[in-house]
Structure 1
Amino acid sequence: MSGIASSSSPRRRLEDLAGRARHVITSSPSRFAIVVFAMLILIFTVLLGLPISSASGEFTDLSDALFTAVSTICVTGLTTVDMATHWSPFGHVLVFIGVNVGALGVLTLASLMGMLISKRLGLRAKLMAAGDTNPLRAHGGVVNESQTVRLGEVGQLLMTVAISTLVIEGVLAVLLYPALVMAEVDPIAALWEAPYYAAMSFTNTGFAPNAGGVAAFEHDYLVLTLLMAGVFLGSIGFPVIYTLAKHVWHVKKWSLHSKLTIVTTVLLFFMGAAVFVILEYNNPKTFGSMDAVDTTFQAFFLSAMTRSGGFNVIDMSDLNGSSLLAASMLMFVGGGSASTAGGIKVTTLAVLAIAVWSEAKGRQSVEAFGRRIPSDVQRVALSVVAWGATIVALSTIVIAQITKDDMSHVLFDVISAFATVGLSTGLTESLPDSGAYVMAATIFMGRVGTVTLAAAVAATSTTQYYSLPVERPIVG
């Protein structure tokens, strides 16, 4: 009997340990996302490291395989190898699949699979899926039905995510094929490059399958415009696409989130282009050698890509230091919430800007488009910015110490990694293994960290039945 007890006791302990681990992971959508993202990165690291994945038929170094896996799953676009020549057709297919999986979002993907299996979503699954659309929901506590997507609409939103991804990438591929052929790309090669570029633009990744990348189409406005369109649609976010699909001609029915996202995105797009024209018009390495039309178009293209697109016609290292700083600011902001873009998100910037404006005007509440923005949303926005700035600062210090490179180049590449943009001054490709691991960690924290922090901050909102005495410290 003692033998049976002793043999069952370790088994019981293992079962209890597994049960606790399962509870910790599944009780919070944010923790679940981190675990699944990490598992996907591990799987793709192994697959990309195999000889079948490389063009040379040899094993890929662990640091290169891991970095590419992180950059793929986190839809970043930075790379330590030449994507066009290093990978075999099998490796390119892995990257193509990885960016689409990463772009959908782990919670959305898991919910979609569950819905297809069970034909419906339970409350927990709806809360998890809603966490992808709004971090304030991800703690699974009290749900405010005035937020971005109501729980009753989650199933519709998930279908919108799946359908819009398939349709948008499909349409882009169909339009890109003749454009690539007219750009003198081999018709057979274009059959692969068209859907590849479509996926990389909509997911805001920025990988290119051809030698030379997008620079090969620097004078082809049609190809570049289609890529910009794909980046824009991917960066506004699935909740905005869902709102536009339902109320495209009824602006009054748009949610506050959709209005803030679209208005801020358009403003940054035009302001970014104007800044780049002003700062680069006399730089002979960039816009100084172009006419007015080329300069204007390339300024808009650069503005769009620094928001999270990752494609570049101009060598980033040729930009003036002032332009690199402006581009870094645009990258740090990124795209829309619950989108394929990275950064702190345009709605975060909009909420903080409106809060500052309201404070300057002496208003008691923060309001926009006839709606009041509650203090908990402002608190999450401030936390996300602080989290992002901390990650960027620490990573910049570490990589600058490792590489001893120019600080403007280090800062640019670190922000590009954090915001999952994919633009580089050339620093990332030359990183030693230690620097590559730090940059990969920056990408991972930038992709899942802000959402996780937002959910954690939201989860700490508790009811307090008393208030402490007020005392005002000196600020500023």
Structure 2
Amino acid sequence: MRAGRRLRDLSQRISPPQLTVLTFALLVLCGAGLLALPAATESGERTPFAAALFTSTSAASVTGLAVVDTGGHWSFLGEGVILALIQVGGFGIMALATVLTLVVGRHLGLRMAVRTGSETKTLTLGEVRRIAVGILTVTLVFETAVMAVLTLRWWIGYDLPLGSAAYLGLFHAVSSFNNAGFSPFADSLMGYATDPWITVPVAVGVVAGGLGFPVWVELWRFARRRGERHTWTIHARITLSVTGCLLAVGFAAFLALEWDNPATMGGLDLRGKLLTGFFQAVMPRTAGFNSLDFGAMNTQTLLVTDLLMFVGGGSAGTAGGIKVTTFAVLLFVVLANVRGEPTVHVGHRRLGEGVASQAVTVVLLSLSLVLAGTLALMTMTTFTLDEILFETTSAFATVGLSTGITADLPVPGQMVLVFLMFVGRIGPIALASALALRRRARAYELPEERPIVG
């Protein structure tokens, strides 16, 4: 009885962001413990805890960076643990982010505080349960569809046994929808770069998971109303439009910068170039699959990819980064200031008070973490700035793309990436939630004074 009372008292004192951090840390440690078992490796030897912790963090944070060959080092048990971490991590983040990020401003009669947005209704416990069921449904639908296509392709097109084809289909379907980027193949999907039956379903899974559950709710409502007038939420409009723009920008940039690069797409025909350009434009959304060698890409391409990875995908989804809505809010703030407007408007709506300051806080703290991680790795290694910046951005944005230096980093450097992956996965969510939940009115205001800006 006393133990139960203590747990209840503790749950009342822990805020939702703190609970998110603790739950995620427990998941990572449990995964690391399982991966450190001898049975988790093909050789039967125990994996060093640092490597097990790195892999567990990368899987739970749905990143995809690896210090050992996923298909060659881990046994069926080890790969099963990685797959479970990806699924639990992706679903858990989607569920928590949907409840904590979709809704804002008022505390409910639950032990944990959640936020409700200006365009949503107050959540009840039953509605929270329905959200979880809805997220699970969307997850299973997309993963099953992607798995079916991939399984048939590997079975019929590559003459693999049905069991092996189904396993590869399942692994890549879960990894793609959760934007993880893990693959049993040592070269990711480079061996299938020009096969649309492999790369397109994976890309579709990445985009679907990266849009976020709130957007899929909007799309479902729009599809059901056929012909009826549908009022889109600001969140859905921003997510869909900015995602489309970033995909187009990434596609054009990859084609322009890598078209004649003999080490990447220079030797491909027109169809192959368009397919690989599209696939690599999708991956910074943020999944770590690659059909081209990023280590052989031009420096300009790496910089463009850094920017795309940092922005990431949609809120309350499996993608990482600062999120496309945060990026869009900053653009609208800049536009409003250039026009001299006192408030920020998007479409026919005015952005709520405090949204701009939250976006600025998230971006500046995120930049600080990436730069700090980059500086730390530069002092530990002899790799170039573009390689290290690419690695730290990929880790923080939970992308998983790499120029191939991950396994060559010293253990302290790998721990820097572990920290970036952990903070990058739950940091923006927890920070945005904490900022919204801690907002309170001031009892008085001090005299106003404007410093010189610029």
Q: TM-score, normalised by structure 2?
A: 0.92
Counterpart in the other structure of 2:71 = 84
Secondary structure in 2 aligned to 1:58? coil
Alpha carbons 1:76, 1:417 under 8 Å: kept: yes
Counterpart in the other structure of 2:250 = 272
Q: Check 1:135–1:384 CA distance in 2 against 1; reply closer, same or farther (3 A cut).
A: farther
- Rg larger in structure: 1
> Would you say 1:437 and 2:404 are equivalent positions?
no
Using the TM superposition, give the Cα deviation of residue 58 of structure 1 relative to its aligned residue in structure 2, in angstroms.
0.9
The one-letter code sitting in structure 2 at the alignment partner of 1:350 is A
Query: Where do residues 38-187 of structure 1 align in structure 2 (5 Å cutoff)?
Result: 38-105=25-92, 108=95, 130-131=99-100, 133-134=102-103, 144-147=116-119, 150-152=122-124, 153-184=127-158, 186-187=160-161
| Deviates most, 71-80 or 142-151 | 142-151
- C-alpha distance in 2 between matches for 1:328 and 1:136: 33
- C-alpha distance in 1 between matches for 2:453 and 2:346: 26
Using the TM superposition, give the Cα deviation of residue 230 of structure 1 relative to its aligned residue in structure 2, in angstroms.
0.3
Alpha carbons 1:133, 1:149 under 8 Å: kept: no
> Would you say 1:284 and 2:262 are equivalent positions?
yes
Counterpart in the other structure of 2:372 = 394
- C-alpha distance in 2 between matches for 1:374 and 1:215: 45
Alpha carbons 1:136, 1:454 under 8 Å: kept: no
- C-alpha distance in 2 between matches for 1:142 and 1:327: 34
- What CA deviation, in whole Å up to 9, does each residue of 1:40-88 have, x standing for no partner? 1111111000011111111111111000000111110001000011010
Structure 2: segments with no counterpart, 5+ residues: none
Secondary structure in 1 aligned to 2:342? coil
Counterpart in the other structure of 1:456 = 434
Counterpart in the other structure of 1:226 = 201
Alpha carbons 2:94, 2:135 under 8 Å: kept: no
Q: Check 1:138–1:411 CA distance in 2 against 1; reply closer, same or farther (3 A cut).
A: farther
Using the TM superposition, give the Cα deviation of residue 160 of structure 1 relative to its aligned residue in structure 2, in angstroms.
1.1
Identical residues among aligned pairs (%) = 36
The one-letter code sitting in structure 2 at the alignment partner of 1:165 is T
Secondary structure in 1 aligned to 2:317? coil
Using the TM superposition, give the Cα deviation of residue 132 of structure 1 relative to its aligned residue in structure 2, in angstroms.
5.2
Secondary structure in 1 aligned to 2:189? helix
Alpha carbons 1:105, 1:132 under 8 Å: kept: no
Q: TM-score, normalised by structure 1?
A: 0.88
Using the TM superposition, give the Cα deviation of residue 30 of structure 1 relative to its aligned residue in structure 2, in angstroms.
0.8
Report the number of matched residues. Answer: 445
- C-alpha distance in 2 between matches for 1:297 and 1:363: 43
More helix by share: 1
> In the alignment, which of 11, 18, 21 is matched to residue 31 of structure 1?
18
- What CA deviation, in whole Å up to 9, does each residue of 1:353-393 have, x standing for no partner? 11111211222321112111123111111111011101101
Alpha carbons 1:134, 1:338 under 8 Å: kept: no
Alpha carbons 1:183, 1:217 under 8 Å: kept: no
Secondary structure in 2 aligned to 1:252? coil
Structure 1: segments with no counterpart, 5+ residues: 1-11, 110-127
The one-letter code sitting in structure 1 at the alignment partner of 2:339 is K
Secondary structure in 1 aligned to 2:404? coil
- C-alpha distance in 2 between matches for 1:262 and 1:375: 23
Alpha carbons 1:201, 1:230 under 8 Å: kept: yes
Alpha carbons 1:215, 1:314 under 8 Å: kept: yes
Counterpart in the other structure of 2:386 = 408
CA RMSD of aligned residues (A): 2.4
